[in-house]
């Protein structure tokens, strides 16, 4: 049985390393988390749509095979290419993104997917993972199909995990993003959000919204700018203070890695504080490497034994 099903988009990643030089990889928010969850010992299936017959789509499938991700839920669209993003970094490791994804096949995933196979997969899983980017790219019809799918998954006993990962440029309006997110959250057992995402979505009402989500039954993790973490769960609040800063080379994928570390620990039965510690440990390693997905040998506590 596959323990985790993650749904979203894997893109071609172009990291600018110097003038006229770049490093090529494959990444995307839910894909990054899926890879790290697999490296942390969980069986993971990834659902997305890619092209067919091009070297980039082949590269995504090859990476999935190397990482041990189940590709049975992947669909292909002949004549189309996967989305692409490029990024550069400032001296603090903070990144700036540039996207080419308007024609990405992942936008049509729910039109291309085998709905019966997808439903069977999520109903057999312990955890289904999606993000605000997933919601944004699939469009209104895709969001309706996803909402139905997650409702079925929850009915079957799967936990739904969600990161709002707010990217305003992917939405037609802020109100559209808020409505889509607020339709998903009541189904969720786990919500993990960066403080900047919550602030971008709700401004001064961000804390009240996080509290409301917890009141709806979600375990809500908020990752703050200063690396402090707050977890709202079962009517209680856990505050984990910031740690000594790690020198960041590239913060790409840090939140995705945090989510993987946290969810893997929770699925192992770890308590909230231990799960935050595990999440931070992985995220702190990830920011010391360029790109969203670090070499397997660099994984804390796993190394080349994976």
Please state the three-class secondary structure of the chain as a single string. Answer: CCCEEEECCCEEEEEEEECCEEEEEEECHHHHHHHHHHHCCCCEEEECEEEECCHHHHHHHHHHHHHCCECCCCEEEECCCCCEEEEEECCCCCEEEEEECCCCHHHHHHHHCCHHHHHHHHHHCCEEEEEHHHHHHCHHHHHHHHHHHHHHHHHCCCEEEEECCCCHHHCCCHHHHHHHHHHHHHHCCEEEEEHHHHHHHHHHHHHHHHHHHHHCCCEEEEECCCCCEEEEECCEEEEECCCCCCCCCCCCCHHHHHHHHHHHHHHCCCCHHHHHHHHHHHHHHHCCCCCCCCCHHHCCCCHHHC
List C-alpha distances in Å: 209 to 60, 156, 195, 273: 36, 27, 12, 22
pLDDT, residue 303, reads 42
- Count of other CB atoms within 10 angstroms of residue 209: 20
Q: What is the pLDDT of residues 125-176, one digit of tens each?
A: 999 999 999 999 999 999 999 999 999 999 999 999 999 999 989 999 999 9
pLDDT above 70: percentage of residues in the chain: 97
| pLDDT surpassing 50 at residue 304 | no
Quote the mean pLDDT of the chain: 93
Of 229, 264, 256, 227, give the one whose Cα is nearest residue 210.
229
What are 187-237's pLDDT values in tens digits? 999 999 999 999 999 999 999 999 999 999 999 999 987 789 999 999 999
What is the percent of the chain with per-residue pLDDT over 90, rounded to a whole number? 80
Among candidate residues 29, 70, 163, 256, the one labeled active-site is 256
Poorest-pLDDT segment among 26-35, 122-131, 154-163, 243-252: 243-252
Note the pLDDT of residue 248.
81
Q: Which residue has the tokens 């990144």?
A: 95
Q: What are phi and psi of 103, to 5 degrees?
A: -105, 15
pLDDT in tens, 279-295: 999 999 999 998 889 99
Quick check: is 256 catalytic? Answer: yes
For residue 290, the tally of other CB atoms under 10 A from its CB is 18
Instruction: Set out the domains of the chain in order of their start, with CATH numbers.
Output: 4-305 (3.40.1190.20)
What is the model's pLDDT at position 305?
A: 33
**Each residue's pLDDT tens digit, 9-24:** 999 999 887 788 888 8
Neighbours of 75 (CB within 10 A): 19
């Amino acid at each position: 049985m596959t323990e985790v099903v993650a749904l979203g988009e894997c893109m071609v990643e172009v990291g600018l390393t110097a003038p006229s030089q770049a490093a090529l990889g494959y990444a995307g928010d839910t894909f990054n988390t899926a890879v790290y969850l697999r490296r942390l010992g969980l069986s993971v299936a990834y659902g997305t749509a890619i092209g067919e017959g091009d070297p980039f789509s082949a590269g995504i499938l090859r990476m999935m095979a190397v990482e041990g991700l189940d590709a049975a839920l992947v669909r292909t669209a002949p004549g189309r290419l996967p989305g692409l993003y490029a990024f550069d970094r400032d001296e603090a490791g903070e990144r700036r993104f540039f996207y080419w994804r308007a024609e990405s096949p992942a936008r049509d995933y729910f039109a291309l997917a085998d709905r019966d196979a997808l439903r069977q997969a999520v109903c057999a899983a312990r955890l289904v993972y999606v993000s605000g980017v997933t919601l944004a790219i699939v469009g209104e019809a895709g969001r309706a199909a996803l909402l139905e799918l997650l409702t079925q998954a929850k009915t079957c006993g799967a936990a739904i995990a969600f990161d709002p990962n707010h990217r305003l440029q992917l939405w037609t309006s802020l109100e559209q993003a808020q409505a889509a997110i607020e339709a998903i959250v009541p189904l969720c057992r786990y919500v993990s959000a960066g403080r900047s995402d919550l602030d971008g979505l709700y401004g001064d009402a961000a804390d009240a919204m996080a509290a409301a989500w917890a009141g709806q039954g979600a375990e809500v993790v908020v990752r703050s700018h200063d690396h402090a973490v707050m977890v709202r769960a079962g009517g209680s609040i856990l505050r984990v203070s910031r740690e000594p800063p790690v020198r960041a080379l590239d913060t790409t994928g840090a939140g995705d890695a945090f989510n993987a570390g946290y969810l893997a620990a929770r699925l192992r039965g770890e308590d909230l504080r231990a799960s935050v510690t595990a999440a931070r440990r992985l995220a702190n390693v990830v920011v010391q490497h360029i790109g969203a997905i670090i070499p397997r040998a660099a994984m804390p506590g796993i190394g080349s034994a994976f």
